[in-house]
Amino acid sequence: MTGIGLRRGAVMAAAVIAIALSLGGESSPKLAIPLGLLPVDFPKDNPYSPAKAELGKLLYFDKRLSADNTVACASCHSPKFGYTDGAPVSTGIRGQKGGRSAPTVINRAYSLNQFWDGRAASLEEQAKGPIQNPIEMGTTHEAVVKKLRGIGGYRAMFKKVFGTEDLTIDHVAMAIATFERTVLSGNSAFDRYNAGSKSAMTAAQIRGRNLYLNKAKCDKCHEGINFTSNAYHNIGVGTDKANPDEGRSVVTKNEADWGAFKTPTLRDIARTGPYMHDGSLKTLEEVVDYYDKGGNKNKNLSEDMKPLKLTDQEKKDLVSFLQALNGEGWQKIQEPTKFPE
């Protein structure tokens, strides 16, 4: 890789593999990994198996996990919208609106803490959250477990995967998280270019890549194989509102995190709009314009947010490069047509 941030990403990638091996994490050769990505490091206490991923997929798409059988995980994280919902904020049970945009599930396997504010330490923990959120799925862990135990087809699948029909909410979360770790995107035009195919990207995309690394310095935050540092930054989005979302500081109780949100992956970014934690920017062009002006000034604006002074052509080239990050892998996952009875 060229560019400091992307080179750092390659070094970090090698380090992650070494750490995973030293800790005994399980990377499964059975899971196909698209070009440009690392092997997925499954938790030692929740190793990969095709049967568990299949169970998790069914649960992910099954609306029966909500109180009134109207909302599934896939309702807000749908393959039709790059595993988001294509809306500024999500709609939950009884038409209730959430306060933040649904982040993509794509490449969540490489993410650290989950949610925009990082309040969940793992995908397993994250999977439990929406179920008992009154705005999202509006039920309880106890009610979901009781409902699933009453479905013979699910009992049989849980017994096959976990060795017991006496399933728990932890089993549910482990299965969903396993499926989500298979939702991968790689083999993009950028990946093929980076692997040596210099015709994989257009001239505009190559110019955009150079801007990304040099003048715009996007890789300060969007670095490595998944184009994110997994860190939190205040870039000013929404801070000009009457009651701004306080972001990460609600979790950490640290004023230094006020208005900071997790840096999202840029993989398949052209397919996952609208953008930002509040869905306030509709297009990539609007996103580039926002960064070009240096964001909205506020008491905690990141020091990296400065006007870029891009020309119109440079803006177009930068958007072209972002479009070169559209990848492959997750499209092969087939939505269930029927569910256990």
Residue positions annotated with a catalytic role: 136
Name, in order, each residue with C-beta under 8 angstroms of 6's C-beta and a sequence gap of 6 or more. Answer: 213, 219, 223, 224
Report phi then psi at 174, rounded to 5: -65, -40
Cα–Cα dist 102/104, whole Å: 7
Positions of the chain with pLDDT under 50: 1-5, 7-29
Name, in order, each residue with C-beta under 8 angstroms of 105's C-beta and a sequence gap of 6 or more. Answer: 77, 83, 180, 183
Give me the pLDDT at residue 6, please: 53
Give me the pLDDT at residue 165, please: 87
Name, in order, each residue with C-beta under 8 angstroms of 237's C-beta and a sequence gap of 6 or more. Answer: 261, 276, 277, 278, 280, 281, 290, 295, 296
Give me the pLDDT at residue 86, please: 97
Cα–Cα dist 189/32, whole Å: 18
Name, in order, each residue with C-beta under 8 angstroms of 174's C-beta and a sequence gap of 6 or more. Answer: 46, 52, 56, 124, 162
Q: Following CA atoms 201, 290, 264, 278 in sequence, which dihedral angle do they give, to the nearest 10 degrees? A: -140
Q: Fold match between 43-184 and 187-328?
A: yes
| Model confidence pLDDT, tens digit, residues 183-218 | 999 999 999 999 999 999 999 999 999 999 999 999
Name the pTM for this structure.
0.91
Q: At what angle do helices 50-61 and 169-180 cross, to 10 degrees?
A: 100
For 74, half-sphere exposure in the C-beta direction (CA atoms, 13 angstrom radius) is 20
**CATH top-level class of 43-184:** mainly alpha
At 299, list the tokens.
Answer: 């008491």
Task: Please give the full DSSP string across 255-310, using - where no structure is assigned.
Answer: GGGTTBEEPPP-TTGGGS-SBSTT--B-SHHHHHHHHHTT----TT--TT------
Cα–Cα dist 178/161, whole Å: 12
Q: Cα 189 to chain center, whole Å?
A: 20
Give me the pLDDT at residue 2, please: 41
Give me the pLDDT at residue 190, please: 98
Give me the pLDDT at residue 107, please: 98
Give me the pLDDT at residue 30, please: 78
At 296, list the tokens.
Answer: 């909205």
Q: Which CATH superfamily is domain 187-328 in?
A: Cytochrome c-like domain (1.10.760.10)
Name, in order, each residue with C-beta under 8 angstroms of 76's C-beta and a sequence gap of 6 or more. Answer: 84, 85, 90, 91, 92, 102, 130, 136
* Local structure of 1: helix, strand or coil: coil
Domain boundaries, the chain: 43-184, 187-328
